[in-house]
Amino acid sequence: MLFAIGSAAADRPNIVFIFSDDHSPNAIGAYNRWLKSVNPTPNIDKLAAEGMVFERSFCTNSICGPVRAVIETGKHSHLNGFRQNGDKFNWDQQTFPKLLQASGYQTVLYGKYHMEGKPKGYDEWAVLPGQGLYYNPDFLTAEGKITKEGYCTDLVTDMAVEWLKEKRDPTKPFMLRVQHKAPHRNWMPALRHLGAFDDVLIPEPPTLFADHRFQASPSRNQELEIDRHMDLNYDLFVDLTAEFDQPASQKTQDRSAWMNMKRMTPAQLEAWHAYFDPKDKEFHEANLYGEALVRWKHQRYMRNYLACVKGVDESVATMMKTLEELGLSENTIVIYSADQGFYLGDRGWYDKRWMYEPSLEMPLIVKWPGVTAPGSRNHDLVQNLDYASTFLEMAGAEIPQDLQGKSLVPLLKGEKPAEWRDAIYYHYFEYPSVHMVARQRGVRTDRFKLIHFYQFDEWEFYDLDADPQEQRSQYDNPVYAAEVAKLKEQLETLRVEYGDDSDISAKPEDWRVKVRKGEVTE
Ligand code: CA
């Protein structure tokens, strides 16, 4: 049923879309994974208990800006034009907020958007330029750049609460996007959360020391290993100045870590040092190397990452409480998602980009009072490609024919549509670039996965039931020959169906030139 413009707000649900950055389902209690024991997200878990958890939720292209562009348009990267970070989003194209707005919704966007340019289709917006900063960040608004003192996650939440309480037009339904920078690198927790996980030993993933022997060469030739690539200062804020025996006045902290800390007020910086300095001293005295050093880095990484997650988890609680206070809970859909998963030491890595499960996954939890059964779990294959169609159907607005996703509304109602997809399509475009993850495309069904690193013409195939950690490619195993052939066919069928005519013949050297020219960035 379509609603006429001007329908009473009560007839059409409000949508609060809380979206974080790099939050792996492994670090959400409700997903029952290996970090559940440290209770990382009590408030997101509460939302899950009241709504539906999507267990097979995946992105189309595991990197910040492109995931957001797919959500905005409901179209794959090759069609919306935002293939990799550094691309510019064309705001003149059709987007779901514009369509919601035209159907009578108020649309609001706060926080990280990572798409550059002035957002279009929003009644109100304040966004972080680029990656944004954790402490005392700038925001771009329709009126120009502003700077706010405080912690980014809290500031974004505060703007959303203020909008609900003071700026909202109560006669209209709304779509409110609360989009956090956290827990994106470089992991800087709120001061109140420093040390929040210090009294527990963070569990290690089973693949922390994986060697990638039985996989295609790109998985060995990358730059995102905790061991070889995670920087003590840049990533973990370890003070290395003592090692260089330099006076404090000439500190040569790594430029980026130092730049992030330089943004803090003297009081913030003092609290930061009070927490980290004794730990850094202990670290230097321990003189770790080899596996012990990797384990120490993993603990420090996870403690900072999970403390950033804690800020996001509190934001979810604040949003829920505010909706309750305003009497909006019953007619508001609350969604929690993040742009992609993340390696939390899985495979020995950090970061994302790959089609392997830890970075292919996206958390997706939806509470729709009266529609989603409390505590329900869905196992269908869903993607960020589906969000635009879903939002439009939730709002009772028309879904244009050219959107490539499927509305999740039937799934949210607990129905199983006869014609649901049996495979998802993936295409990552950014190589060579930061972290050196080869371009790849592939398909994943409920059980199997095929990946093509086409610049190197290398393939991988996994049976996820037999090898859920994807440690041993079975591409050349004759036992799976028929399945490999079938997935190759599916890959080609989906490529044609989605209209992906990307040129995959160009060799890595061509991108090298782009990197040198500064045309490709993180
Ligand atoms: Ca991201």
Distance 166 CA to ligand 1 centre (A): 31
Distance 421 CA to ligand 1 centre (A): 25
What is each CA distance from 327 to 52, 165, 255, 348, in whole angstroms? Answer: 22, 11, 48, 46
Least confident of 8-12, 66-70, 171-175, 465-469: 8-12
Q: What is the pLDDT of residue 29?
A: 98
Distance 268 CA to ligand 1 centre (A): 26
Q: What is the pLDDT of residue 255?
A: 57
> Which string of DSSP letters, residue by residue, matches 273-315?
HHHHHHHHHHHHHH---HHHHHHHHHHHHHHHHHHHHHHHHHH
Distance 82 CA to ligand 1 centre (A): 14
Which fold does the domain 425-517 belong to in CATH?
Answer: Arylsulfatase, C-terminal domain (3.30.1120)
Alpha-carbon distance of 330 to 14, in angstroms, equals 10
Q: What is the pLDDT of residue 259?
A: 73
- How far separated are the first and last CA of the chain, in Å rounded? 43
Confidence of residue 515 (pLDDT cuts 50, 70, 90): low
Sequence ranges of the chain with CATH classification 3.30.1120.10: 425-517
> Which string of DSSP letters, residue by residue, matches 160-224?
HHHIIIII--TTS-EEEEEE--TTPSS----GGGTTTTTTSPPPPPTTTT---TTS-GGGTS-S-
Q: What is the pLDDT of residue 7?
A: 46
Distance 113 CA to ligand 1 centre (A): 10
Q: What is the pLDDT of residue 4?
A: 46
Alpha-carbon distance of 9 to 400, in angstroms, equals 23
Distance 347 CA to ligand 1 centre (A): 18
Residues 359, 63 contacting (CB under 8 angstroms): no
Alpha-carbon distance of 270 to 263, in angstroms, equals 13
Distance 333 CA to ligand 1 centre (A): 23
pLDDT of 147 > 80? The answer is yes
Distance 69 CA to ligand 1 centre (A): 12
- Is the peptide bond between 137 and the residue preceding it cis, with omega within 30 degrees of 0? no
What is each CA distance from 138 to 60, 61, 132, 385, 520, in whole angstroms? Answer: 30, 28, 7, 30, 24
Q: What is the pLDDT of residue 243?
A: 55
Distance 227 CA to ligand 1 centre (A): 22
Helices 290-325 and 266-286: angle between axes, nearest 10 degrees: 150
Residues 259, 136 contacting (CB under 8 angstroms): no
Distance 521 CA to ligand 1 centre (A): 14
pLDDT of 385 > 80? The answer is yes
Least confident of 115-124, 231-240, 319-328, 409-418: 231-240
Residues 408, 390 contacting (CB under 8 angstroms): yes
Who surrounds ion ligand 1 at CB < 5 A? Answer: 21-22, 64, 339
514: enclosing H helix or E strand? helix 508-516
Distance 307 CA to ligand 1 centre (A): 17
Top-tier CATH class for 9-187+302-413: alpha beta
Average pLDDT over residues 206-224: 96
Average pLDDT over residues 192-196: 98
Q: What is the pLDDT of residue 252?
A: 53
Distance 78 CA to ligand 1 centre (A): 19
Q: What is the pLDDT of residue 249?
A: 45
Strands 52-54 and 376-378: parallel
Alpha-carbon distance of 236 to 255, in angstroms, equals 13
Average pLDDT over residues 162-178: 98
Distance 144 CA to ligand 1 centre (A): 25
Instruction: Tell me the pLDDT tens digit for each residue of 17-32.
Output: 999 999 999 999 999 9
Q: What is the pLDDT of residue 505?
A: 86
The torsion angles phi and psi of 265, rounded to 5 degrees, stand at -75, 160
Alpha-carbon distance of 147 to 87, in angstroms, equals 25
Instruction: Tell me the pLDDT tens digit for each residue of 334-379.
Output: 999 999 999 999 999 999 999 999 999 999 999 999 999 999 999 9
Residue 217 one-letter amino acid:
S
What is each CA distance from 132 to 149, 157, 238, 504, in whole angstroms? Answer: 13, 15, 22, 32
Distance 184 CA to ligand 1 centre (A): 7
Distance 339 CA to ligand 1 centre (A): 5
pTM comes to 0.95
Residue 233 one-letter amino acid:
N
Strand partners, 150: none
Q: Which residue has the tokens 């409920």?
A: 446
Distance 483 CA to ligand 1 centre (A): 32
Distance 399 CA to ligand 1 centre (A): 27
Instruction: Tell me the pLDDT tens digit for each residue of 72-112.
Output: 999 999 999 999 988 999 999 999 999 999 999 999 999 99
Average pLDDT over residues 387-409: 98
pLDDT of 6 > 80? The answer is no
Distance 23 CA to ligand 1 centre (A): 8
Instruction: Tell me the pLDDT tens digit for each residue of 278-313.
Output: 999 999 999 999 999 999 999 999 999 999 999 999
Alpha-carbon distance of 30 to 400, in angstroms, equals 34
Sequence ranges of the chain with CATH classification 3.40.720.10: 9-187+302-413
Q: What is the pLDDT of residue 512?
A: 57
Distance 384 CA to ligand 1 centre (A): 13
Residue 96 one-letter amino acid:
F
Max CA separation in the chain (angstroms): 71
Distance 359 CA to ligand 1 centre (A): 10
Alpha-carbon distance of 438 to 199, in angstroms, equals 38
Distance 183 CA to ligand 1 centre (A): 9
Distance 495 CA to ligand 1 centre (A): 24
Distance 63 CA to ligand 1 centre (A): 5
Distance 4 CA to ligand 1 centre (A): 37
Alpha-carbon distance of 75 to 500, in angstroms, equals 11
Distance 243 CA to ligand 1 centre (A): 33
Distance 160 CA to ligand 1 centre (A): 21
SS3 content of the chain, % helix, strand, coil (to 5): 35, 15, 50
Average pLDDT, the chain: 93
Distance 80 CA to ligand 1 centre (A): 18
Distance 134 CA to ligand 1 centre (A): 15
Distance 229 CA to ligand 1 centre (A): 19
Percent of the chain beyond pLDDT 70?
92
Distance 282 CA to ligand 1 centre (A): 32
List all residues 6 or more positions away from 104 whose beta carbon is below 8 Å from its beta carbon: 3, 5, 6, 7, 12, 172, 173
Q: What is the pLDDT of residue 10?
A: 57
Distance 139 CA to ligand 1 centre (A): 19
Residues in the chain, total: 522
Residues 450, 463 contacting (CB under 8 angstroms): no
Question: What is the 8-class DSSP label of residue 493?
Answer: H
Average pLDDT over residues 251-256: 54
Distance 159 CA to ligand 1 centre (A): 22
- Residue 152 is encoded by which pair of tokens? 């980014």
Average pLDDT over residues 1-17: 68
Distance 373 CA to ligand 1 centre (A): 29
Other C-beta atoms closer than 10 Å to the C-beta of 501 total 10
Category of 120 on φ-ψ map: left (φ > 0), alpha (ψ -120 to 50) or beta: beta
Distance 200 CA to ligand 1 centre (A): 27
Distance 425 CA to ligand 1 centre (A): 19
Distance 496 CA to ligand 1 centre (A): 27
